[in-house]
Each structure stands twice: as structure tokens, then as C-alpha cells.
Amino acid sequence: MKYICTLLLLLVTAQNTSAQTKIETLKGRIVSNTQDVVGVYVLNKTTNKGTITSKTGNFSIPVSLKDTIMFSAVQFKNKKIVVTQKILDYKSFLVNLDETLEELNEVVLDNRTLITAKSLGLPNADVEVLPLAKRELFAANNGDNYLSLDPLLNFLSGRTKMLKDRIKRDDMYARSKELRTRFVDSIFSKNLKIPASRIEEFMLYCEYDPRFKGITENKNELVVWDFLRQKSELFLKFK
């Protein structure tokens, strides 16, 4: 009889333990009145497993009752919640994040002191805020959760390639703008004979040259100028 009671006690204890550690999928959405919610890091601090929100702010993460979940991003204040049964009962759990001042540019208080998010030791100070195209590519490659078929569907539909091409295009455009600031428009018009109305078109023409990326990184103005001169001759000849 004593043996049977002990066995029953062990079974009850095992069932209670199993109930307490039951793993469920918590689905939710990050919302904010002021900031883009893509790329928010969602970490289950109890299991040390995490995920990142999609471009619409959705997330899905395995949790158990009483797990601690941390939400963090460079543009938001960190937020921590403890998983309750009420939270698990929600079909979609909404998490509102407040804007933080970490996104502000560096501030100089005087001629000697430079204050940055990093110098203040703020969380995620070293995290790079990605451009929109890169954030969309990240979301396309990762989906809303680790079981999502979105990455495969985006690859098959061509969306992944489209986003990669957009990132390359944005990079080239940024390089083109930076290069143009190194020479005033009058130099393009007078020295290269490029009409002022066609300077943008000429820069786009230069971007398609395989050497363009290296030229924009070259600090030798003579090398850069020789490249522009060569391209201007071809541009005016064929355009």
C-alpha cells in the first residue's frame, strides 16, 4: 500500500511538472505610434532562445508558463514581460514599445565632451539601424518564425532577388551622390562638357561601369577625375 501511494505521488508530481514546463508558441505583434517595428529582437531569457520581428512587427517564439520575454531594439526602450496563462490564451499578443532617445545623433556638450549612446553604455548602442531595403530582405529571408515557409516562397517568387537588387541599386545611388559632392556642377558642365540637365543621367551611366565602386572609394582625386573624363567622352559620343 505504501508503495502504491508513493507511486501515485510521483505520477502526480510528474504531471504537475509537465504542465508547468509545457512548451507553447506565443504569437504576437509589436506596435508603436512613432517608429518602424521591423527588426525588434524578441528573447526568451529563460531558455535563451530568440527571434526577430517581421517587417509588419509580427513574431512567434516558443515559451512556457512563467518564462521571461525581453523585447529590445535600438530605437525602443527595452521591455520585459513574464508569460502568464492570460497571455497564452491570447490569439495574438500585442506589445507596445516606447520610443527611446538612443536613436539621436551624437551630441557635443562642449569642446571636450562627446556624448553618444555607446559612451553612455546604453543597450544595443552598437546595433546598426539597417536601411529599409536591408530590413525587408532580412524579413524575407527569416519569416515570422522558425517554421515559416516565407523564405522559400520569397525565393521562388523572385522577391528575395528583387530586394537584393534594390540594395545594390541603393548602394550605387549613395556612392553616386557622394562622388558628385566632390565636384561642383560647373566642373561637369565646363570641363567635361556635360549639360547641367544631364548630370544625373551621366552619373547613372558611370554607375554601370564595373570600376565605379572602386573609384568612389579612391581618395586620389586625379584617378577619380581621369575616370570621369573617360566616361564623359563615351557618354557624349553615344548619348
- From first to last of its 239 residues, what are the pLDDT tens digits of the chain? 555 555 455 554 545 544 456 889 999 888 877 666 777 888 999 988 888 888 788 888 999 999 999 998 877 888 999 999 988 888 778 888 887 654 444 444 444 444 455 555 555 555 555 556 666 666 666 655 555 677 777 777 787 787 777 777 777 778 888 887 777 788 888 888 999 888 888 888 888 888 988 888 888 888 888 899 999 999 988 76
pTM for this entry: 0.39
Contact 118, 110 (CB under 8 A): no
Residue 66 is predicted with a pLDDT of 93
Residue 200 is predicted with a pLDDT of 86
Residue with cell 550605387: 172
CA distances from 169 to 100, 166, 207 (A): 31, 5, 9
Residue 143 is predicted with a pLDDT of 57
| 149: Cα separation from own chain's centroid | 20
Cell of 163: 530586394
If phi > 0 it is left, if psi is from -120 to 50 it is alpha, else beta; for residue 66 that is left
* Secondary structure of residue 155 in the 3-state scheme: helix
Contact 59, 42 (CB under 8 A): yes
Cell of 76: 525602443
* Secondary structure of residue 63 in the 3-state scheme: strand
